[in-house]
Amino acid sequence: MPVSKMVGAKVKRREDPRLISGLAHYVDDIILPNTLHVAILRSPYAHARIKSIETDAALKQPGVVAVITGAEIRDKIGLIPVASDNPSLRVPKHYVLAVDKVCYVGEGVVAAVAEDRYAARDALDLIRVDYEPLPAVSDPEKALAAGSPVIHSEWPDNVAFRWSLKQGNLAGAFKEAHKVVRQRLVHQRLAPIAIEPRGVLARYLPGEKELTLWSSTQIPHLLKTQLSLMLKLPENHVRVIAPEVGGGFGSKLNVYAEEGLIGYLALKLNRPVKWIEGRRENIQTTIHGRGQVGEAEVAVKKDGTILGLQYKVIADIGAYHQLLTPGIPPLTGLMLSGSYKIPAIAMEITGVFTNKMATDAYRGAGRPEATYVVERMMDRVAQELGMMPVEIRKKNFPMPKEFPFKTATGLAYDSGNYQAALDKALKLAGYEKLRREQKKLRSQGRYLGIGLSTYVEICAMGPSAAMPAGGWEYGAVRVEPTGKVTVLTGVSPHGQGQETSFAQIVADQLGVDLDDITVIHGDTSVVPSGIGTFGSRATAVGGTAIYQAAEKVKEKAREIAAHLFEADPEDLNFSEGRFSVKGVPKKGLTIQQIALEAHMARKLPKKMEPGLSATSVFEPSNFTFPFGTHICVVEVEPQTGRVEIKKYVAVDDCGRVINPLLVDGQIQGGIAQGLGQALFEEVVYDENGQLLTSSLMDYALPRAVDLPHLDLARTETPTPVNPLGVKGVGEAGTIGSTPAIVNAVVDALVPFGVTHIDMPLKPEKIWRLCQTKEPAQARGGR
Amino acid sequence: MIPAPFDYVRPTTLDEAIRLLAANGDEAKLLAGGHSLLPLVKLRLANPKILIDLSRISGLSGIRQEGDQIIIGALTTHYEIESSELLKQACPLLPETARMIGDVQVRNRGTIGGSLAHADPAADLPAAILALGAELRLTGSDDERWIKGEDFFLDLMTTVLKPTEIITEIRVPVLSGRFGTAYLKMPQKASGFAIVGVAVWIKVEDKACTAIGVGVTGLGAKPFRAKEVEKKLWGKRIDHTFIDADASHVDHGIDPLDDIHASAPFRAHLARVYTHRAIQEAVKRAGVSMPSR
């Protein structure tokens, strides 16, 4: 990279003023004349046959325009898509509104369309659905047991798919092992809870034959393709716009029933149609994350060298697949080597249907599960061997010179220096002093715990060969006649701040003022193609496309300048946005001046096309692998089970940093969500599949007061995978934090003989564990 | 989150409000801060035909001293209670408790009368009301009555309020002499309501406890006064035995709530722990100097 000014600078988010002052336009802020509104009657049962539906009374209600059942539209709208190349995958028919049967609480059954939202909602109360309740199963382990209720009659075993991975001499590893440590691990279901729920607005123009669909989505381009297939419309007559999107965390990396349904209704009724999700619907029918129950086994030598790891896991799929449902648990498999040299690894996944909402990608998507398994097991193994957590980790790290480091799971970690991040975190935390304090406090009956997580994750998704629908990204840079720079990106930021960071990249490349650059995203008719924002890919893949496009623009400008100066392009200097002839610094033109020449096109080199713009599609050669160390210090009160976080240190390495403020923000938000999983978040269904955490009065999200002060620091190990050297940071905080917090709480409770606690670490669980045994006398540390 | 249709009226006098209540019976609901009612209405768990907004009735809000009593208007918000200099001096248990309700938005809108009338089993204020021996003024169509807090709550979200009665005032004593108060709770993580909350008021004369009130919320179907605990400590000398006193009677006769946030045994355990701690804290705040052990 050239010497830079903007890249690496703490530039404030340019997005924030409009967000903070309420001037942004989310789906619900887009008002079209004559719009109809939709409310959806949803199943109150986890499993039931639909015997009959009576809609006449609703239809007669003033303001009600249409009442639509699943049976009426089953042949008109395609099935909700799932992207997977797993040959064992079983795909139940997933209609946009239930046909004959409902399989989870919240499944859409009838849509009421009315002149306003109130009339639409009132209409739902007048619809009579006669259900015949069926036995339901919500626990994935029970769903596998003989005699379980069957969710889809084609597959009486409730198995949705199987997936396995086996590399290295596992049998040998377990035979040779000094010890084998086993642990059952539960990754509870979580609700992503973006602050803006989903929402869809659709408009069909019969003259132009164009369907425009505004959706709160992370993937407008993929949605456009899928929507055209679902609605059997030519793809070049479909336009998808992701306006301002209020967070996603993976939950909007999907194609949902309502997107197909609302698009269809706009076509059918020939009026704009809008549906805005309520928070209860959001918890019921927007995908959930995690949902794995597994058994991990680690074979280890006496000196702490890990020989092998085996993880058998049941993945709780829910009743149907959403877009990437079957693709998430295998990501756990791929990352099971963690940041360690583990010569033999095996994983077996059984995806299981349950009478619940589908699981899919939620911030981290499979990697938090892997990191949790590996980091929890490292502590378990250390405890069994009488080693310290730091010691066992250092023992098994690959050395910096071993990169690219090939794992038994078939990945090649691009670059890394795991020791450096760990050492920096230990120093920042004052680790040795903390251990002494822990010993002292234990002798006073106070329980301090220190937890580590030395994670590695997989980002920048990814090489197209490894992705279900392309892993490249599109970028374009155009210098307008007036010198302003328009940047188009195929990624779809929804809070990440790339309107700022991409402008920083372009500002440096073209030497243009940041205020002269605008970054446009999210409209398939403005940005010709793209994949979207997920998998911490936007900057590493999309940012690189922008960087390459800017590079092309610069080279074209150089040719034009050389032509105008009658000089050789090689004889031009480029500095601060200005080309000048070497040795004649006064003779020069800025890129912005050249843009006008390029558009006037009177004095261009022969055969050169007018205009000053370029596009680039970047196809990454590999994933990237950010890493780091999180250290959490807690105090646990055995009498009440309360956990207080006393200190939190995170050293993250996401490669080269474009904007430290954005990176810190991502880490902070990620830690908040990781903390939520560790301590209190959980989607709870009862055994009959009723959702018990259906509002934020029962589903506990972390709040500002729950967060400790975060000591954030970085190491910077650039990736060789892209010219920017950036790895990605959107999910690192979530991935790194959860095991650090759980390890800290378990460490605090060692005197009580505790070796493991399943998340969330709610006070009652901790209290119960502390009841079973009198605390051992302080021996200090472990 | 769209309520069923309802009528909305905003009377300007108490008489008018009571008349509207009488005229509409079960179909009417009073609207004060709305922070309990509106979510229920939006979820259609409550479907009143008419909402009677009390906000324009003058005289229902405010905090004033009358002799050795403090009178709090039913429409006084949690924030007003939390920030009242008069209460901080004369009855600090109420501001301390109000400060722990929900969040800023809830405290800015929610009212003491609304909270008490709603009778959520995990609301914070009832614990303090019970500990203080507060009284509620209930105004009806023909008469009005003062009722003690401990007689007000009947069961889960059920009170002695008649269909035509409105809580108009709450009366708490001006605490004088040497006293200490404390409210401690373990919040339910999602809602902020109390899994268990314990409010204690203790009066001290000559190093003895000459009066004590212990109000408990969150544990049972209704908030209650822990009389067994009070009885054991009333009149006792305040020493280590006193503050180490067994609080295991606090759940005596109570059938603890049991839900996904806390089981019945855990709630009962927490009630004992928090009762014990609240008593210790109140003693400390009363400034009783304890000989070292």
Structural domain boundaries in chain A: 27-134+196-284, 137-191+288-355, 416-457+624-782, 462-618
Average pLDDT of chain A? 96
Nearest CB to B273: which of A118, A280, A639? A639
A699 chain-B contacts, CB cut-off 8 A: 190
Nearest CB to B1: which of A279, A680, A700? A279
What residues does B171 pair with on adjacent strands? Answer: B71, B135
Are the C-beta atoms of A47 and A688 separated by less than 8 Å? no
Residues A50, A109: Cα–Cα separation, whole Å: 9
Please, which residues 688-717 of chain A have a Cβ atom closer than 8 Å to chain B?
Answer: 692-693, 695-701
> In sequence order, which residues have a C-beta less than 8 Å from that of residue A144 and are 6 or more positions away?
A157, A158, A159, A314, A350, A352
Which fold, A27-134+196-284? Aldehyde Oxidoreductase; domain 3 (3.90.1170)
Nearest CB to B263: which of A125, A696, A764? A764
Query: What b/e string do you get for A543-567 counting C-beta neighbours within 10 Å, with b at 16 or more?
Result: bbbbbbbbbbbbebbbbbbbbbbeb
B189 CA: distance to closest CA in chain A (Å) = 6
Q: Please give the single-letter amino acid code of residue B89.
A: Q
Cβ of A698 within 8 Å of Cβ of B190? The answer is: yes
Residues A422, A391: Cα–Cα separation, whole Å: 11
Residues A339, A398: Cα–Cα separation, whole Å: 7
Residues A682, A365: Cα–Cα separation, whole Å: 16
- At residue A777, the pLDDT reads 56
Nearest CB to A697: which of B5, B190, B273? B190
Residues A712, A717: Cα–Cα separation, whole Å: 16
Flag whether residue B40 sits within 8 Å of chain A, measured between CB atoms. no
Of A346, A333, A366, the residue nearest A298 (C-alpha) = A346
B53 CA: distance to closest CA in chain A (Å) = 21
Strand, helix or coil for residue A366: coil
Q: Please write the tens of the pLDDT for every residue from A717-738.
A: 999 999 999 999 999 999 999 9
Residues B142, A317: Cα–Cα separation, whole Å: 62
Residues A355, A45: Cα–Cα separation, whole Å: 9
Instruction: For chain A, give the percent of residues with pLDDT over 70.
Output: 99
Residues A416, A653: Cα–Cα separation, whole Å: 8
- At residue B242, the pLDDT reads 86
A41 chain-B contacts, CB cut-off 8 A: none
Flag whether residue B45 sits within 8 Å of chain A, measured between CB atoms. no
Flag whether residue B1 sits within 8 Å of chain A, measured between CB atoms. yes
Terminal C-alpha separation, chain B:
58
B191 chain-A contacts, CB cut-off 8 A: 697-698
Cβ of B260 within 8 Å of Cβ of A684? The answer is: yes
Mean pLDDT throughout B272-290? 93
Please, which residues 161-190 of chain B have a Cβ atom closer than 8 Å to chain A?
Answer: 186, 188-190
Q: Chain centroid to CA A564: how far?
A: 49
Are the C-beta atoms of A253 and A240 separated by less than 8 Å? no
Q: In what order do the strands lie in the sheet with B208-217?
A: B178-187, B194-205, B208-217, B224-225
Interface-testing mutation among B45, B106, B193, B261, with chain A (most A C-beta atoms within 10 A)? B261
Q: Please write the tens of the pLDDT for every residue from A238-269.
A: 999 999 999 999 999 999 999 999 999 999 99
Strand, helix or coil for residue B129: helix
A27-134+196-284 and A462-618 agree in CATH topology: no
B188 chain-A contacts, CB cut-off 8 A: 700
Q: Chain centroid to CA B76: how far?
A: 13
Domains and CATH numbers, chain B: 7-53 (3.30.43.10), 63-173 (3.30.465.10), 178-285 (3.30.390.50)
A vs B, Cβ pairs < 8 A, gives 49
Residues A740, A650: Cα–Cα separation, whole Å: 10
Q: How confident is the model at residue A781 (pLDDT cuts 50, 70, 90)?
A: very low
Flag whether residue B105 sits within 8 Å of chain A, measured between CB atoms. no
Q: Please give the single-letter amino acid code of residue B81.
A: I
Instruction: For chain B, give the percent of residues with pLDDT over 70.
Output: 100
pLDDT reading at A779 higher than 50:
no
Mean pLDDT throughout B83-97? 98
pLDDT reading at A567 higher than 80:
yes
A184 CA: distance to closest CA in chain B (Å) = 22
B187 CA: distance to closest CA in chain A (Å) = 11
- At residue B1, the pLDDT reads 82
The nearest alpha carbon in chain A to B265 belongs to A764
Q: Please write the tens of the pLDDT for every residue from A55-64.
A: 999 999 999 9
* Kind plus residue range of the DSSP H or E element containing A128: strand A128-133
- At residue B108, the pLDDT reads 97
Cβ of B270 within 8 Å of Cβ of A278? The answer is: no
Mean pLDDT throughout A472-477? 98
Q: Please write the tens of the pLDDT for every residue from A739-777.
A: 999 999 999 999 999 999 999 999 999 999 998 777 775
A394 CA: distance to closest CA in chain B (Å) = 37
Q: Please write the tens of the pLDDT for every residue from A118-177.
A: 999 999 999 999 999 999 999 999 999 999 999 999 999 999 999 999 999 999 999 999
The nearest alpha carbon in chain B to A676 belongs to B189
pLDDT reading at A778 higher than 70:
no
> In sequence order, which residues have a C-beta less than 8 Å from that of residue B145 and are 6 or more positions away?
B137, B138
> In sequence order, which residues have a C-beta less than 8 Å from that of residue A149 and are 6 or more positions away?
A47, A134, A135, A136, A137, A143, A355
Are the C-beta atoms of A353 and A243 separated by less than 8 Å? no
- At residue A2, the pLDDT reads 46
Q: Chain centroid to CA B56: how far?
A: 24
- At residue A782, the pLDDT reads 43
Give CA separation, A61 vs A119, A124, A591, in Å.
8, 11, 63
Strand, helix or coil for residue A624: strand
* Kind plus residue range of the DSSP H or E element containing A211: strand A210-215
Question: What are the helix (H) ranges across A296-446?
Answer: 328-334, 367-385, 389-396, 418-429, 431-443
| Assigned CATH class of A462-618 | alpha beta
Flag whether residue B271 sits within 8 Å of chain A, measured between CB atoms. no
Mean pLDDT throughout A31-46? 98
DSSP string, A141-200: HHHHSTTPPPSSTT-TT-EEEEEEEEES-HHHHHHH-SEEEEEEEEEEEE----SS--EE
> In sequence order, which residues have a C-beta less than 8 Å from that of residue A515 and are 6 or more positions away?
none
CA angle in degrees (0–180, nearest 5) for A537-A406-A398: 100
> In a 10 Å sphere around its CB, with 0-12 CB exposed, 13-18 middle and 19+ buried, how is residue A63 labelled?
middle
Mean pLDDT throughout A372-395? 98
Q: Chain centroid to CA A639: how far?
A: 37
Residues B114, B94: Cα–Cα separation, whole Å: 15
Cβ of B270 within 8 Å of Cβ of A125? The answer is: no
Q: In what order do the strands lie in the sheet with A306-318?
A: A159-167, A344-353, A306-318, A289-300, A179-190
Which fold, A416-457+624-782? Aldehyde Oxidoreductase; domain 4 (3.30.365)
Q: Please write the tens of the pLDDT for every residue from B96-148.
A: 999 999 999 999 999 999 999 999 999 999 999 999 999 999 999 889 999 99
- Dihedral class, residue A347 (left if φ above 0, else alpha if ψ from -120 to 50, else beta): beta
Are the C-beta atoms of A736 and A628 separated by less than 8 Å? yes
What residues does A518 pair with on adjacent strands? Answer: A486
Rounded to 10°, the helix A498-510/A544-565 angle is: 30
Architecture of the domain whose range is A137-191+288-355: 2-Layer Sandwich (3.30)
Flag whether residue B46 sits within 8 Å of chain A, measured between CB atoms. no
Please, which residues 582-641 of chain A have a Cβ atom closer than 8 Å to chain B?
Answer: 639-640
Mean pLDDT throughout B226-232? 94
A280 chain-B contacts, CB cut-off 8 A: 1, 43
Nearest CB to A640: which of B43, B189, B270? B270
Cβ of B189 within 8 Å of Cβ of A700? The answer is: yes
Residue B195 is encoded by which pair of tokens?
A: 């899994």
Mean pLDDT throughout A70-76? 97
Q: Please give the single-letter amino acid code of residue B116.
A: L
Pairing of strands A179-190, B178-187: unpaired
CA atoms within 13 A on the CB side of A227: 36
